[in-house]
Amino acid sequence: GAGVSQSPSNKVTEKGKDVELRCDPISGHTALYWYRQSLGQGLEFLIYFQGNSAPDKSGLPSDRFSAERTGGSVSTLTIQRTQQEDSAVYLCASSLESRVSGEQYFGPGTRLTVT
């Protein structure tokens, strides 16, 4: 079956522009996560959606970052007024939230470069 997909795979934008990153989770997965990974670094949690519950936004680094998940499926991460420090790979993952043993399935990531 289809895995997690993300688009675009690469995005180059000018400082100050807004960008939207898209994630299509695995069908039936009710949990969806966004992470940021800077070059050579670990995963930085950004936001987590679980079913119809309010999202956990505790990892968003500033109010320039926002995310939504429509219809419990597709999610969009929006970064407004991008800064050079926003350059990173943005990873999306989905999981069956009903089981603690449910591993995350990751998408291929979106590499964002802010010039």
Partner 1 sequence: AQKITQTQPGMFVQEKEAVTLDCTYDTSDPSYGLFWYKQPSSGEMIFLIYQGSYDQQNATEGRYSLNFQKARKSANLVISASQLGDSAMYFCAMREIGTGNQFYFGTGTSLTVIP
Residues 6+ apart with CB under 8 A from 28: 96
Tell me, residue by residue from 33 to 72, as one string, x for binding to partner 1 by CB under 8 A and - for no binding: x-x-----xxx-x--x-x--x--x----------------
User: Would you say 14 or 100 has its CB closer to partner 1?
Assistant: 100
Is the link from the previous residue into 8 a cis peptide, with omega within 30 of 0?
Answer: yes
> Rule CB under 8 A: is residue 6 a binding residue for partner 1?
no
Residue 87: strand, helix, or coil = coil
Least separation in angstroms between residue 58's CB and partner 1 is: 9
Q: How far is CA 74 from the centre of its chain?
A: 11
Alpha carbon distance 100, 96 (integer Å): 9
- Looking at the Cβ atoms of 82 and 95, the one nearer to partner 1 is 95
Q: CA–CA separation, 108 vs 7, rounded Å?
A: 9
85 phi and psi angles, rounded to 5 deg: -70, -5
CB of 74 to partner 1, least distance (A): 20
What residues between 75 and 94 interact with partner 1 by CB under 8 A? 89, 91, 93
Q: Is 5 in the site for partner 1 (CB under 8 A)?
A: no
Q: Which residues bind partner 1 (CB under 8 A)?
A: 31, 33, 35, 41-43, 45, 48, 50, 53, 56, 89, 91, 93, 95, 97, 100-106, 108-109
